[in-house]
Amino acid sequence: MTFCLTTRIIKPEKDIPINNAVILLHGYGGDGEDISLLTMNWKRFLPNTIFLCPNGHEKCAINPLGFQWFDLTKDEPQYILEQSKKAEKKLQQFIDEVKIEYKLKNHQICLSGFSQGCMMSINLGLISKENFNCIVGFSGKIINQEDLVSRKISSTKMLLIHGDRDTVVPPTFLLEAKDFLIRNGIDVKTKIIKNCEHHIPVEASSEGLNYIKSNFNI
Protein backbone atom coordinates (compact mmCIF):
# COMPACT_ATOMS: atom_id res chain seq x y z
CA MET A 1 0.00 0.00 0.00
CA THR A 2 1.10 3.55 -0.72
CA PHE A 3 0.32 5.63 2.35
CA CYS A 4 -1.27 9.07 2.08
CA LEU A 5 1.81 10.53 3.83
CA THR A 6 5.42 9.97 2.78
CA THR A 7 6.73 7.73 5.55
CA ARG A 8 10.01 6.43 6.90
CA ILE A 9 9.31 2.82 7.91
CA ILE A 10 11.48 0.73 10.23
CA LYS A 11 10.36 -2.90 10.22
CA PRO A 12 11.28 -5.70 12.66
CA GLU A 13 14.09 -8.06 11.78
CA LYS A 14 13.30 -10.61 9.07
CA ASP A 15 10.65 -13.22 9.93
CA ILE A 16 9.65 -11.51 13.21
CA PRO A 17 5.87 -10.98 13.22
CA ILE A 18 4.48 -7.48 13.69
CA ASN A 19 2.39 -7.33 16.86
CA ASN A 20 2.52 -3.58 17.53
CA ALA A 21 3.20 -0.25 15.86
CA VAL A 22 4.66 3.04 17.05
CA ILE A 23 3.70 6.06 14.96
CA LEU A 24 6.18 8.90 15.48
CA LEU A 25 5.17 12.46 14.59
CA HIS A 26 7.88 15.07 14.08
CA GLY A 27 7.86 18.69 15.22
CA TYR A 28 7.40 21.91 13.27
CA GLY A 29 9.92 22.10 10.43
CA GLY A 30 11.10 18.52 10.93
CA ASP A 31 10.42 15.33 9.01
CA GLY A 32 9.99 11.60 9.44
CA GLU A 33 13.70 11.03 9.05
CA ASP A 34 14.72 13.13 12.03
CA ILE A 35 12.09 11.73 14.44
CA SER A 36 13.06 8.21 13.32
CA LEU A 37 16.35 8.63 15.20
CA LEU A 38 14.43 7.57 18.32
CA THR A 39 14.05 4.11 16.83
CA MET A 40 17.80 3.48 16.81
CA ASN A 41 17.50 2.54 20.49
CA TRP A 42 13.82 1.71 20.78
CA LYS A 43 13.77 -1.01 18.11
CA ARG A 44 16.23 -3.17 20.09
CA PHE A 45 13.76 -3.40 22.97
CA LEU A 46 10.55 -3.57 20.94
CA PRO A 47 11.33 -6.50 18.62
CA ASN A 48 7.80 -7.18 17.34
CA THR A 49 7.13 -3.53 16.58
CA ILE A 50 7.03 -1.60 13.33
CA PHE A 51 7.88 2.10 13.48
CA LEU A 52 6.23 4.55 11.09
CA CYS A 53 7.49 8.11 10.83
CA PRO A 54 5.39 10.17 8.39
CA ASN A 55 6.23 13.58 7.01
CA GLY A 56 3.71 16.29 7.74
CA HIS A 57 1.12 16.84 5.01
CA GLU A 58 2.38 20.38 4.33
CA LYS A 59 5.76 21.92 3.59
CA CYS A 60 6.88 24.08 6.50
CA ALA A 61 6.12 27.75 5.93
CA ILE A 62 9.47 28.90 7.33
CA ASN A 63 11.64 25.90 6.42
CA PRO A 64 11.04 24.61 2.87
CA LEU A 65 13.19 21.55 3.58
CA GLY A 66 10.92 20.49 6.44
CA PHE A 67 7.24 19.83 7.06
CA GLN A 68 4.46 20.93 9.38
CA TRP A 69 1.22 19.56 10.78
CA PHE A 70 -0.22 23.05 10.93
CA ASP A 71 0.91 26.57 10.10
CA LEU A 72 2.35 28.77 12.86
CA THR A 73 3.01 31.94 10.87
CA LYS A 74 -0.28 33.43 12.08
CA ASP A 75 -0.58 33.77 15.84
CA GLU A 76 -4.35 33.40 15.75
CA PRO A 77 -5.87 30.62 17.94
CA GLN A 78 -8.87 29.99 15.68
CA TYR A 79 -6.68 29.74 12.58
CA ILE A 80 -4.30 27.33 14.33
CA LEU A 81 -7.25 25.23 15.52
CA GLU A 82 -8.70 25.00 12.01
CA GLN A 83 -5.32 24.04 10.54
CA SER A 84 -4.71 21.39 13.21
CA LYS A 85 -8.09 19.81 12.45
CA LYS A 86 -7.05 19.43 8.81
CA ALA A 87 -3.95 17.59 10.02
CA GLU A 88 -6.10 15.38 12.26
CA LYS A 89 -8.13 14.22 9.26
CA LYS A 90 -5.00 13.41 7.27
CA LEU A 91 -3.47 11.54 10.20
CA GLN A 92 -6.67 9.62 10.85
CA GLN A 93 -6.59 8.51 7.22
CA PHE A 94 -2.93 7.52 7.60
CA ILE A 95 -3.62 5.52 10.78
CA ASP A 96 -6.51 3.69 9.09
CA GLU A 97 -4.16 2.77 6.24
CA VAL A 98 -1.55 1.48 8.69
CA LYS A 99 -4.16 -0.64 10.46
CA ILE A 100 -5.27 -2.20 7.20
CA GLU A 101 -1.75 -2.76 5.86
CA TYR A 102 -0.41 -4.45 9.00
CA LYS A 103 -3.67 -5.93 10.33
CA LEU A 104 -3.55 -3.98 13.58
CA LYS A 105 -6.13 -2.59 15.99
CA ASN A 106 -5.92 0.65 17.95
CA HIS A 107 -4.88 -1.19 21.12
CA GLN A 108 -1.72 -2.33 19.30
CA ILE A 109 -0.67 1.20 18.32
CA CYS A 110 1.29 3.78 20.30
CA LEU A 111 1.26 7.40 19.15
CA SER A 112 4.34 9.44 19.96
CA GLY A 113 5.42 12.88 18.93
CA PHE A 114 7.69 15.84 19.56
CA SER A 115 6.43 19.42 19.97
CA GLN A 116 3.78 19.90 17.25
CA GLY A 117 3.76 16.12 16.79
CA CYS A 118 3.03 15.72 20.51
CA MET A 119 0.09 18.12 20.19
CA MET A 120 -1.34 16.07 17.34
CA SER A 121 -0.83 12.81 19.24
CA ILE A 122 -2.77 14.11 22.24
CA ASN A 123 -5.67 15.24 20.08
CA LEU A 124 -5.81 11.96 18.15
CA GLY A 125 -5.69 9.99 21.38
CA LEU A 126 -8.81 11.71 22.67
CA ILE A 127 -10.97 12.05 19.53
CA SER A 128 -10.50 8.53 18.19
CA LYS A 129 -13.47 6.16 18.40
CA GLU A 130 -11.28 3.65 20.25
CA ASN A 131 -8.39 4.09 22.66
CA PHE A 132 -4.90 3.63 21.33
CA ASN A 133 -2.48 1.55 23.39
CA CYS A 134 -0.78 4.68 24.74
CA ILE A 135 0.71 8.05 23.89
CA VAL A 136 4.21 9.31 24.58
CA GLY A 137 4.51 13.04 24.06
CA PHE A 138 7.65 15.17 24.19
CA SER A 139 7.61 18.97 24.66
CA GLY A 140 4.02 19.62 23.62
CA LYS A 141 0.79 21.14 24.87
CA ILE A 142 -2.98 21.11 24.40
CA ILE A 143 -3.83 23.12 21.27
CA ASN A 144 -7.29 24.24 22.41
CA GLN A 145 -8.77 22.87 25.63
CA GLU A 146 -12.34 24.06 25.06
CA ASP A 147 -12.52 22.53 21.61
CA LEU A 148 -10.84 19.27 22.63
CA VAL A 149 -13.13 18.61 25.59
CA SER A 150 -16.15 19.12 23.32
CA ARG A 151 -14.87 16.42 20.93
CA LYS A 152 -13.40 13.96 23.42
CA ILE A 153 -14.78 10.44 22.96
CA SER A 154 -11.85 8.28 24.11
CA SER A 155 -9.35 8.17 26.95
CA THR A 156 -5.97 6.95 25.75
CA LYS A 157 -3.44 6.81 28.60
CA MET A 158 -0.32 8.90 28.13
CA LEU A 159 3.11 9.95 29.32
CA LEU A 160 4.11 13.57 28.75
CA ILE A 161 7.78 14.58 29.03
CA HIS A 162 9.14 18.12 29.03
CA GLY A 163 12.41 19.95 29.57
CA ASP A 164 12.53 22.44 32.44
CA ARG A 165 14.46 24.95 30.29
CA ASP A 166 12.27 24.76 27.21
CA THR A 167 11.68 28.29 25.92
CA VAL A 168 9.93 27.23 22.69
CA VAL A 169 7.09 25.43 24.46
CA PRO A 170 7.57 26.40 28.13
CA PRO A 171 7.06 23.65 30.75
CA THR A 172 4.05 25.50 32.18
CA PHE A 173 2.17 23.98 29.24
CA LEU A 174 2.93 20.51 30.63
CA LEU A 175 1.29 21.46 33.93
CA GLU A 176 -1.73 22.88 32.10
CA ALA A 177 -2.03 19.72 30.01
CA LYS A 178 -1.75 17.48 33.07
CA ASP A 179 -4.48 19.42 34.88
CA PHE A 180 -6.76 19.30 31.82
CA LEU A 181 -6.24 15.57 31.28
CA ILE A 182 -6.79 14.62 34.92
CA ARG A 183 -9.99 16.70 35.04
CA ASN A 184 -11.20 14.78 32.01
CA GLY A 185 -10.47 11.32 33.36
CA ILE A 186 -7.26 10.53 31.49
CA ASP A 187 -4.57 8.32 33.03
CA VAL A 188 -1.61 10.67 32.56
CA LYS A 189 1.95 10.50 33.84
CA THR A 190 4.43 13.35 33.52
CA LYS A 191 8.18 13.75 33.70
CA ILE A 192 10.23 16.93 33.86
CA ILE A 193 13.80 16.58 32.55
CA LYS A 194 16.26 18.85 34.33
CA ASN A 195 18.56 21.20 32.40
CA CYS A 196 16.76 20.31 29.17
CA GLU A 197 15.72 22.71 26.42
CA HIS A 198 13.48 21.99 23.40
CA HIS A 199 14.73 18.57 22.33
CA ILE A 200 14.62 14.88 23.29
CA PRO A 201 17.65 13.89 25.39
CA VAL A 202 18.62 10.29 26.18
CA GLU A 203 16.85 10.40 29.55
CA ALA A 204 13.57 11.42 27.92
CA SER A 205 13.94 8.78 25.20
CA SER A 206 14.54 6.09 27.83
CA GLU A 207 11.50 7.17 29.86
CA GLY A 208 9.36 6.98 26.74
CA LEU A 209 10.71 3.57 25.77
CA ASN A 210 10.05 2.09 29.22
CA TYR A 211 6.50 3.41 29.18
CA ILE A 212 5.82 1.86 25.78
CA LYS A 213 7.36 -1.46 26.84
CA SER A 214 5.17 -1.62 29.93
CA ASN A 215 2.03 -0.95 27.91
CA PHE A 216 2.94 -3.36 25.11
CA ASN A 217 3.67 -5.95 27.85
CA ILE A 218 7.18 -6.61 26.56
Residue 13 is predicted with a pLDDT of 85
Query: How far is it, in rounded angstroms, from Cα 207 to Cα 150?
Result: 31
Residue 1 lies in a domain: no
State how many domains the chain has: 1
Residue 75 is predicted with a pLDDT of 87
Give per-residue pLDDT as tens, 83-101.
999 999 999 999 999 999 9
Is the alpha carbon torsion for 87, 93, 95, 101 positive or negative? negative
Residue 21 lies in a domain: yes
Residue 27 lies in a domain: yes
Range of the domain at 173: 7-216
* pLDDT lower than 70: segments of the chain: none
Residue 2 lies in a domain: no
Residue 72 lies in a domain: yes
Strand order in the sheet with 158-163: 7-10, 49-54, 20-25, 109-114, 134-138, 158-163, 188-193
